[in-house]
């Protein structure tokens, strides 16, 4: 049979692991730099100021400075003597830029009237540096500038890390498919180290492990709902400051579909977390590669609390996958689906054997840059009242012997 896929090959796809790495580094770098200057650097300054020397200072003036009609900052000018020299400063705390919250700023200015004798903290190494308040303020944690608090740099950083992780996983997956079960295998001309149809039996491994799937969904739920939480908090902060307008109300209503989707993602993470504790199927094939028209013995068993299972099934599936660079999407066509194992009652230890027969008029396993033929065993476990637990175990199908 020809060594080409069933579909026509397409052009080069721009979505490569190298592009994912470049975009991931750019987003994570920009987001990390913004996070550093907006929150990390002020936190480091607060920690360093714990060792500064207290000094007596005199308040010269205090006011809430308004910028652009929407942003506010505290400006308190004071003088202090340190080692016999007179210094001046106007730093109240370590916030680096103003924000739209002005209520607490009004209270601070009211507590520091001109002429008040207060305590400031001086950097002994650089006496010109001083601060009145070295405590942690919520504005540092939620972002200090106007706009959604930390949402842009935080999402940029997290999405960048996710893209880098996806790039690493993609490269690893490509190597596995190049040498593993999804590789194009020719028994007469195979690479060193590749499996032959005459090698011994093998234990099949799932395409995605349960812990890995739960971790991936955790990252997705954290990134999605973390960004939404920042946006909701921004609207809440505007409401507390008395600056809530119709725009913020409409903006919050427009977030409802995204909030519902966020709850769905959290539910999927919960399901994948429960799947970790479900009984684990163990599948073994009598040969690591099955030729078209050939047969292999499948042995299966269930490790764990199998008595909780309501049903257990294994299906043999074959799918053609086409990644199109013209429409920037993937298409799948399942051309084989066969039920090979189905159990609803278990007597003694659960397990058994069956014979897998690969139809002779189908296509063998194939992998190229844009097209692939994937053969796999799909396992489904049902445990009431939990959602079904599914896993795919790729197998290798070679051309005719």
Q: Is the pLDDT of residue 192 over 50?
A: no
Cα–Cα distance measured from residue 263 to residue 51, given in angstroms and rounded to the nearest whole number: 45
Cα–Cα distance measured from residue 146 to residue 86, given in angstroms and rounded to the nearest whole number: 35
| DSSP string computed for 237-261 | HHHHTT---HHHHHHHHHTHHHHHH
Q: Is the pLDDT of residue 80 over 90?
A: yes
Contacts 24+ apart (CB under 8 A), 237-241: 237/100, 237/101, 237/142, 237/149, 238/100, 240/101, 240/103, 241/100, 241/101, 241/102, 241/103
Task: Give 252-303 pLDDT, tens digit per residue.
Answer: 888 888 888 888 888 888 888 888 888 888 888 888 888 888 888 888 888 8
Of the two residues 140 and 160, the one the predictor is more confident about is 160
Token reading at 109: 């200015």
Task: Give 306-351 pLDDT, tens digit per residue.
Answer: 777 888 888 999 888 887 655 446 677 888 888 888 888 766 667 7
Q: Is the pLDDT of residue 364 over 90?
A: no
* Residue percentage of the chain with pLDDT more than 90: 7
Omega prior to 240 cis, within 30 of 0 = no
Confidence (pLDDT) at 243: 65
pTM check: above 0.85: no
């Amino acid at each position: 049979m020809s060594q080409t896929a069933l579909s026509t090959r397409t052009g080069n796809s721009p979505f490569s692991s190298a592009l994912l790495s470049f975009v991931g580094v750019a987003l994570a770098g920009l987001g990390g730099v913004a996070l550093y200057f907006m929150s990390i650097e002020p936190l480091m300054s607060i920690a360093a100021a714990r060792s500064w020397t207290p000094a007596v200072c005199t308040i010269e003036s205090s006011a809430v400075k308004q910028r652009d009609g929407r942003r506010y900052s505290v400006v308190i000018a004071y003088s202090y003597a340190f080692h016999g020299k007179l210094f001046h400063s106007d730093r109240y705390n370590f916030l680096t830029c103003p924000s739209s919250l002005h209520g607490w700023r009004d209270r601070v200015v009211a507590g520091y009237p001109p002429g008040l004798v207060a305590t400031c903290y001086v950097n002994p190494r650089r006496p010109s540096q001083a601060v009145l308040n070295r405590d942690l303020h919520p504005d540092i944690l939620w972002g200090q500038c106007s706009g959604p608090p930390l949402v842009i740099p935080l999402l940029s950083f997290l999405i960048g890390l996710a893209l880098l992780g996806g790039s690493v996983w993609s490269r690893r997956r490509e190597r596995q498919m190049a040498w593993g079960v999804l590789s194009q295998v020719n028994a007469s001309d195979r690479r060193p180290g590749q499996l032959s149809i005459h090698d011994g039996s093998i234990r099949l491994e799932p395409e995605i492990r349960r812990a890995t799937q739960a971790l991936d969904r955790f990252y997705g739920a954290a990134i999605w709902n973390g960004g939404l939480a920042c946006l909701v908090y921004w609207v809440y902060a505007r409401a507390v400051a008395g600056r809530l307008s119709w725009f913020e109300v409409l903006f919050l209503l427009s977030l409802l579909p995204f909030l519902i989707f966020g709850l769905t993602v959290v539910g999927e993470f919960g399901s994948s977390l429960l799947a970790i504790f479900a009984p684990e199927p163990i599948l073994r094939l009598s040969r690591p590669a099955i030729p078209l028209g050939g047969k292999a013995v499948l042995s299966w068993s269930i490790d764990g609390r199998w008595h909780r299972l309501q049903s257990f099934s294994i299906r043999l599936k074959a799918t053609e996958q086409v990644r199109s660079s013209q429409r920037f999407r993937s298409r799948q066509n399942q051309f084989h689906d066969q039920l090979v194992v189905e159990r609803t009652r278990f007597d003694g230890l659960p397990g058994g054997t069956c014979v897998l027969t690969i139809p002779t008029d189908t296509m063998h396993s194939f992998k190229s840059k844009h097209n692939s033929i994937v053969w796999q065993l799909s396992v489904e476990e049902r445990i009431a009242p939990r959602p079904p637990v599914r896993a795919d175990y790729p197998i290798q199908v070679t051309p005719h012997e």
